[in-house]
Each structure stands twice: as C-alpha cells, then as structure tokens.
C-alpha cells in the first residue's frame, strides 16, 4: 500500500498523544509499519526549535510562524516523506492546521499567509485524515493541571487566545469536512479510539 498520513489536532490537554498511541498500536496489529512523530520536535533540528518556541523567551508572531515553518520543512523532508515513500503510516501530533489555528487565528496574522508559508515549507503535503479532538480551553487547562504538566509559552496565553485557537480549528474542520474527523474530547478514551478506527479502516483499502 502507499503511505498513510494521519494527523491529530486540538488544544493541549485534548488527549492527542493517547489517541495517537492507540491508533499506532491498532495499525501495527494490521501489519503496517507506523511512524509516530510530532511537530515541533520530530527531528534533531526540530527539538532545538521546540525548546525555543515553547520554553524560550518571547518570540514575535512572525518569527514564531517562520520557526514553525522551518521545523516543518525539515520534518517533512527528513521523516514524513521518506516514511510515506516506503509505505508506512505516519501518525503525527500537530501539523499545518495547528499553524493555521495558533498563528492564523490566535495571533494577529493573516491565515492565508500562514497557509502559503506552510505549504511552501511542506511542498504541498497534506494528510489524508486529520482527527480534531475538540476540547474547551477550560477543560484542557484542568487536565494539564491534574497531570502536573508545566505550562509552556503558548499554554500561558490568555483564555481569549485559546478561544480563538479553538474557533480556528473548528472553522478549518467545517471548511474541509472530507479531511477532518471532529470528536468531542470529553468522550471516553475507548469510544474516541473506536471512532477513529472506524474512519481509518476504509483508508487501508484505498
């Protein structure tokens, strides 16, 4: 089979990592090689950029967008495209939609400029499926606090920023319903996993 590119999106605390792990395990049970990765940070360069973006000092909105694009360009070239070329399934935490939601909706930047930058960086590579785990900013913050996670630079943004990000994600999903699977992240973990598998299974025969 040709490679399968699946991304998971949503606010921090939505449960993306949990669902990515469950999906990867299910795909491996089907005899498929799985590459689990994330943005930013899926390469050595990306790990350095991730530290700067999430745990460094203040970054201007345009510089932030360009650093994410640099991470994406390296990540797609080094990890994603080679995996897809050999027929693997790539299950990825965050991709272009995160840039469109965080920088294009959360920040005072034009979404179409962010889209153009991201498509240039990725050479036009889009996932076949994007799972959006929708969660309110309030619940996401409660989950992170309960897990004892240290808030990063983006997570420390004001509640209004996170509301704009959530609205941005939902608007993206509404504009491309064929690509998105939108799920309520409040649902039980196993119920979410079953819904994701139900959407992925037909893609394996494609």
Residues 115 and 119: their CA atoms lie apart, in Å, by 6
The pLDDT tens digits for 107-136 are 989 999 999 999 999 999 999 999 999 998
Tell me, yes or no, if the pTM score tops 0.85: yes
| Alpha carbon 199 to chain centroid, angstroms | 17
| Rounded (to 5) percent helix, strand, coil in the chain | 55, 15, 30
pLDDT number for residue 205 = 83
Residues 53 and 149: their CA atoms lie apart, in Å, by 17
**For residue 1, pLDDT beyond 60:** no
Q: Average the pLDDT over 6-13 and give the result.
A: 92
The pLDDT tens digits for 139-154 are 877 876 776 666 677 7
- Enter the CATH code of domain 4-205: 3.40.50.300
Maximum pairwise Cα distance, the chain = 47
Kindly list the domain boundaries of the chain, sorted by start residue. 4-205
Asked if residue 203 lies in contact with residue 129, where contact means CB atoms within 8 angstroms, the answer is yes
Q: Average the pLDDT over 167-182 and give the result.
A: 97
DSSP element (H, E) containing 70: helix 61-75
Residues 33 and 110: their CA atoms lie apart, in Å, by 37
The pLDDT tens digits for 47-58 are 999 998 888 788
CA distances to 44, 79, 130, 173 from 4, rounded to whole Å, are: 23, 13, 11, 19
User: Hey, which residues does 36 pair with through a beta bridge?
Assistant: 91
The pLDDT tens digits for 58-107 are 889 999 999 999 999 999 999 999 999 999 999 999 999 999 999 999 99
């Amino acid at each position: 089979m040709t490679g399968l590119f699946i991304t998971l999106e949503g606010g921090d605390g939505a449960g993306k990592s949990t669902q990515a792990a469950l999906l990867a395990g299910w795909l491996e049970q089907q005899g498929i090689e799985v590459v689990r990765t994330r943005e930013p940070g899926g390469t050595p360069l990306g790990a350095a950029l991730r530290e700067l973006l999430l745990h460094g000092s203040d970054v201007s909105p345009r510089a932030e967008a360009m650093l994410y694009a640099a991470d994406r360009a390296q990540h797609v070239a080094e990890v994603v495209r080679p995996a897809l070329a050999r027929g693997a399934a790539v299950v990825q935490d965050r991709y272009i939609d995160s840039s469109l939601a965080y920088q294009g909706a959360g920040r005072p930047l034009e979404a179409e400029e962010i889209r153009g930058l991201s498509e240039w960086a990725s050479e036009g590579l889009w996932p076949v499926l994007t799972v959006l785990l929708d969660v309110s900013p309030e619940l996401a913050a409660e989950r992170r606090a309960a897990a004892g996670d240290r808030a990063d630079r983006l997570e420390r943004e004001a509640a209004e920023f996170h509301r704009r990000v959530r609205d941005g994600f939902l608007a993206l999903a509404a504009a491309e319903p064929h690509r998105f699977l939108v799920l309520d992240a409040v649902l039980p973990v196993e119920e979410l996993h079953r819904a994701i598998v139900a959407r992925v299974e037909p893609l394996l025969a494609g």
